[in-house]
Amino acid sequence: MARFCTVLCIAFLSFSLFVSGVFSASFTFTNNCGYTVWPGLLSGAGTSPLETTGFALNQGESRTIMAPQSWSGRFWGRTLCTTDPTTGKFTCGTGDCGSGTMECSGSGATPPATLAEFTLDGSGGMDFYDVSLVDGYNLPLLVVPQGGSGTCSATGCLVDLNSACPSSLKVILDSSTEGSESVACKSACEAFDTPEYCCSGEYGNPNTCKPSSYSQFFKNACPRAYSYAYDDATSTFTCTDASYTITFCPSTTSEKSSGGGYPEAATVPLVNNTMVFSGADQVSSASHALPRVSQHGSLLTILAFSVLSLLRLL
Ligand SMILES: *[C@@H]1O[C@H](CO)[C@@H](O)[C@H](O)[C@H]1NC(C)=O
């Protein structure tokens, strides 16, 4: 009898935790690319891990991942992944995390990779998020907050920069069937490894590390994405109590260019309409409203109640 109660109480407690706000936000990944994308998920040091650290997302497919309160970390899309038929080792043409399996298990993306970075429930209870090309670019990615309060701007890099990439930054993959293909675009730091481009050494602060012609290439194409380490003013966004959609290969959208975490961000368009990219036609964003899991349930009350019930029943 006691064992039965224990099981029941633990089940009840788990359910209570689930509905009461241990989960803070959801991330819904959608693959609009014409190929499979394998999202990689890396939790920041000291935050709870998510239910998965890597999975396959077929063309047109979506998957929602719950994140606990105060979670921080990053997401990216791996492309051209294969499993070696003899060794069973899983590797990706871009964004590989080096784990040898579909799960990244605590390893990050090998540059170049477009990154979506999040810190939930940070200063002032706000979520901070950005899309970064500081480690280069491998595929277009859009982050759209859903149902939050605050400025809550969409951010991302909506254009395919692989063909437009300067030749000194291009990552070319040879494929015997289709010839060589431009699959990613390195950052200047990755390509040339100098303190100026990497914002290291005496260039390790915002006064000395300035945009370069290379970072400007990324910034012109994707005005809201981080193009180098100190690009904060136009690249960091905030929203409170939101959930987020992360879309790989979004259609180029005409999102409203309202504000963000920093005053300057508000004036920056998501898409640079003065640039012409093939296939970058303007269509409206396919963002669906997602409910954010309630954070207002009193976790402590439920915990106390569950523990008391458990003690009484035993
Ligand atoms: C858009 O691109 C053009 C041409 O590269 C550039 O001069 C301009 O500054 C860019 N605009 C934004 C907002 O980044």
Cα R_g (the chain), whole angstroms:
21
Kindly give, in sequence order, each residue whose CB lies less than 8 Å from that of residue 287, ignoring residues fewer than 6 positions away: 144, 146, 154, 245
Same domain, 209 and 64: yes
How many whole angstroms from 161 Cα to the centroid of ligand 1? 14
Q: Is the CB of 235 under 6 A from ligand 1?
A: no
Task: Specify the ligand 1 atom closest to the Cα of 223.
Answer: 14
How many whole angstroms from 222 Cα to the centroid of ligand 1? 9
d(CA 223, CA 253): 13
Same domain, 70 and 101: yes
Whole-model pTM?
0.81
**Which residue's CA lies nearest to atom 10 of ligand 1?**
220
Q: Is the CB of 98 under 6 A from ligand 1?
A: no
Same domain, 174 and 263: yes
Same domain, 137 and 16: no
| Spatial contact of 65 and 29, defined as CB atoms under 8 Å apart | yes
Alpha carbon distances (Å) from 198 to 19, 116, 135, 208, 282: 43, 19, 10, 11, 34
How many domains is the chain partitioned into structurally?
Answer: 2
Same domain, 284 and 186: yes
Q: Is the CB of 269 under 6 A from ligand 1?
A: yes
Same domain, 3 and 84: no
Q: Is the peptide bond between 211 and the residue preceding it cis, with omega within 30 degrees of 0?
A: no
Per the structure, the complete domain to which residue 51 belongs is given by 26-291
Kindly give, in sequence order, each residue whose CB lies less than 8 Å from that of residue 87, ignoring residues fewer than 6 positions away: none
Same domain, 210 and 264: yes
How many whole angstroms from 164 Cα to the centroid of ligand 1? 14
Same domain, 236 and 307: no
Per-residue pLDDT of the chain (314 residues; tens, 9 = 90+): 455 555 555 555 554 444 445 678 999 999 999 999 999 999 999 999 999 999 999 999 999 999 999 999 999 999 999 999 999 999 999 999 999 999 999 999 999 999 999 999 999 999 999 999 999 999 999 999 999 999 999 999 999 999 999 999 999 987 656 667 899 999 999 999 999 999 999 999 999 999 999 999 999 999 999 999 999 889 999 999 999 999 999 986 434 444 445 556 667 889 888 875 543 333 333 333 333 433 333 333 334 444 445 445 55
Same domain, 14 and 82: no
**Which residue's CA lies nearest to atom 9 of ligand 1?**
220
CATH of the domain at 56: 2.60.110.10
Same domain, 235 and 306: no
Q: Tokens at residue 17, please?
A: 């935790």
Q: Is the CB of 274 under 6 A from ligand 1?
A: yes
How many whole angstroms from 165 Cα to the centroid of ligand 1? 15
**Which residue's CA lies nearest to atom 7 of ligand 1?**
220
Helices in the chain by DSSP H: which ranges?
A: 2-20, 188-192, 195-198, 213-221, 299-313
Kindly give, in sequence order, each residue whose CB lies less than 8 Å from that of residue 112, ignoring residues fewer than 6 positions away: 94, 135, 136, 137, 138, 171, 184, 185, 186, 187, 190
Same domain, 184 and 310: no
Same domain, 308 and 254: no
Burial class of residue 168 in the structure, from the number of CB atoms within 10 Å of its CB (0-12 exposed, 13-18 middle, 19+ buried): exposed
Q: Which residues pair with 57 in a beta bridge?
A: 37
